Chains A and B, each alone.
Chain A
């Protein structure tokens, strides 16, 4: 047993270092870094590049990659990105890190090459020396992990507790604004924190490489496990995070010892350990009826007072609200209708292979509409829409193939199954706060991907499950119009949803929970409604996508592919129906065009482009398409109105409203009363 405990301390130690980096970053900046795994991969890949590919010795390669490049990357990220997110809403911060998660692995591929590396050396010289400790074999790589964990915990605790730097970090955690007023420079402290955080990422990455190789997906999966420890620590307590991480590693190892090795369930149970930890934490919090609530978890009263209200919310800036309110019917709907008409003409103009791609693009458009509801209307970041799409596709395939259901009825049933899951996930996570919704949905996606989508009957020996389209739409062109029709139906539903009392209540819950509650609106109910509808839409879209591809392959619905989907949609715009359609076309057509007409390396540029697009959400919360639409409308306004009225379009609505100054309104009230 001791052997397994010692062995378990290795992955546990790596989780611990990663969770320490996550907790330190969150407590000092309010940013839960979803890109932590991707950054760990980047540094580990750089170390491999220096050490293995260019023959550098271990020490200089480690010093340059972990000791210099990693902190420098942290400083760079702070300077160009995170510094500007200081006052942004938590969800904007999460999306920006999701953008990094998408972009960084592709940047690594562009810089260091794209050969698969299943095994990579760690910090120990090859061949790795093996010691015996209490009769248990321990490799030098393992010893280095133990030393790093001890150093992380001891040095971290000492620095935080007893040094001036630690005092400043702790002050920054409580209130950056008050820290600044006390004479300390929060920028300097933040730069240091980011440098240390990415140093931890690099260290965890290089230590993990001998165990999991150099695969970005495996890295992000590993770091997702450290999210479990961070969640258990409520994102704030370093000792709890490290303790839980080590216990998870030991538990994993003990499961390996005591579960039957021949069973297929054994590996799945082991993979599920971090998810079980998250589930236990959630249940514990729900039983305690405690809201973890990130809104009040970071910064003090002064920080909240100087945080702009509304302007930086994900998928809805107040300036856009004002702009849209000043538009007439034509100004509001002409652009989206034009885009939909152009899209509808694509199947007629394209031929062969490209028509099939158009059908897929429309199916993706339907899936993307699920974020239009959940994020654009509900203000929540659900990271498992791809899982709901996979559930929809799987249910469609099962019901149509094995139970003789009409295929379109099976698609709707797939949506219904996804809806039920959406309700369960929503009730489990929404009460805890928006940040936890992102974490829990990501975890749920990984759980489904690893436990359900891998079942032999679904994988079908790697062939997936084949599907037949409905008899009236077997051709690509006919099915493209079926998908477009489904898109139009869902888009019309969303248009009506926004105008309905339900939509108003969902909108209210997004902008002010306290205001909504005290108006008699259940915030949880409204968010669950929008999340469940979104899951239904994603399920429908998944069924259509599987029909467009005439097959269901579980690999198509990997959770991190869904993160790329999100990056694409956020780049275009998360509140607009037309943007969802454009995002579908962009996601399908751009890679196909690049593959057909451009050099192969350009394929890696697209994720970088989408990743940076998602990062830009910090600047344009409504997305690039919405921003371009605004710019275009302003240009039109200037051209048509500029000569007569020099007020800018942006200022027009605001100024018109601002003319009702309280000093003017109050006497009117008095007159009325008297």
Chain B
């Protein structure tokens, strides 16, 4: 039973890139998300932050189609995609990465990017190529340009032919980003892309994200879930803060940084944090927040 229709409706170019409207998710008696709404503009970077268990990854699951909400709607470029499967949304230009990389251990780095490109751009090859003895060598110039360009940008060229099973976590994160970008998406959801990376590697990957958004031909938008709040505040145009499944703040980074509800959620009480200067981050770089502490 394929939920994705075979013909994809034309997107509304003036609509927001991604919209969540009143999304509610329950796991048994646990309310993981309660009427959460957000709007992601075209060519923007939206940060999604919140303490552990706030519902960030659940919201990404709903947005990407891996989880069905109990209530609410998801819109992608003007089209309601709530009932559309994850693969159907991917075909419409929604890509994502995972907190624990979800890679294909039997494939090489390049195969990941080639497959993701063909799954979106040359779908018929998924069916036809098994009967074509020249299928893998029959590559289009556009495919080569896209895949080789991404391998180059992410500095994965030297390991392009290596099976991902042999690669360390930091490289796997880059492969996931490469795979997500290979299909030329309009919205990219990043679930803790900096997790497991050291400070310098994190900064470099963030600069790659900035560059990709700035140079995208198709007004690529990013939604980034990250524990490193300082990094998210520095990167994002808009920040949404979740706590216990509810949206407690949304706005520009500087607005969110000083929001009392946000500070209470992170610090465990409503006492204002003693500030040493106007740019004091809510939490330190590279650390995870915990109630009552600045960094773990």
Could you tell me which A residues sit within 8 Å of B by CB distance?
A: 286, 289, 309-310, 313, 316, 318-319, 321-322, 325, 427, 431, 493, 496-497, 499-505, 507-508, 510-512, 514-526, 529, 533, 653-654, 656-658, 660-663, 665-670, 672-674
Contact = CB atoms under 8 A, between A and B. Distances in A.
Interface stretch (B9-17, B94-102, B255-263, B287-295): B94-102
B172 to A, nearest CB: 9
B119 interface: yes
A427 B106 contact: no
B106 A507 contact: yes
Interface stretch (B152-160, B230-238, B244-252): B152-160
B106 A510 contact: yes
B31 interface: no
A661 B168 contact: yes
Contacts of A525: 2, 126
Contacts of A289: 1
B4 interface: yes
Given A525-B2, A670-B204, A672-B155, A658 B166 contact: yes
B273 interface: no
A246 B286 CA distance: 58
A519 B115 contact: yes
Given A322-B166, A496-B135, A660-B162, 15 more contacts: A318-B165, A500-B135, A501-B135, A511-B105, A516-B104, A517-B66, A519-B115, A520-B120, A657-B168, A660-B159, A662-B173, A672-B153, A672-B155, A673-B207, A673-B211
B: contact size bracket = 35 or more
Contacts of A286: 1
B85 A666 contact: no
Contact of A669 (B95, B132, B166, B205): B205
A525 B123 CA distance: 13
Contact of A501 (B87, B95, B98, B118): B118
A537 to B, nearest CB: 13
B167 A657 contact: yes
25 contacts: A309-B100, A325-B166, A431-B1, A493-B130, A500-B130, A500-B132, A501-B114, A501-B126, A501-B136, A504-B107, A504-B111, A511-B105, A518-B86, A518-B102, A520-B87, A529-B127, A653-B162, A657-B163, A657-B167, A658-B168, A662-B171, A666-B204, A668-B155, A669-B208, A673-B153
A638 to B, nearest CB: 20
B174 interface: yes
Contact of B174 (A319, A512, A669, A674): A669
A668 B115 CA distance: 25
A519 B170 contact: no
| Residue of A497, A499, A529, A673 contacting most chain B CB atoms (<10 Å) | A673
A496 B136 CA distance: 9
Interface of B: 1-2, 4, 64-66, 85-87, 90-91, 94-96, 98, 100, 102-108, 111, 114-116, 118-120, 122-123, 125-130, 132-133, 135-136, 152-156, 158-159, 161-163, 165-171, 173-174, 176, 179-180, 183, 196-198, 200-201, 203-205, 207-208, 211
A512 B129 contact: no
A515 B64 CA distance: 11
A496 B128 CA distance: 12
A514 B87 contact: no
| Residue of A310, A325, A516, A669 contacting most chain B CB atoms (<10 Å) | A669
A110 to B, nearest CB: 40
Contacts of A523: 87
B197 A310 contact: no
Contact of B103 (A502, A515, A529, A533): A515
A522 B204 contact: no
B136 A500 contact: yes
A500 B129 contact: yes
B222 to A, nearest CB: 15
A321 B163 contact: yes
B130 A497 contact: yes
A666 B132 contact: no
Nearest to A504: B115
Contacts of A518: 64-66, 86-87, 90, 94-96, 102, 180
B170 A666 contact: yes
A514 B115 contact: no
B25 to A, nearest CB: 15
A316 B168 CA distance: 19
Contact of B166 (A500, A511, A654): A654
Contacts of B65: 517-518
A522 B4 contact: yes
A502 B1 contact: no
Given A522-B2, A669-B154, A508 B201 contact: no
Nearest to B98: A514
A289 B107 CA distance: 30
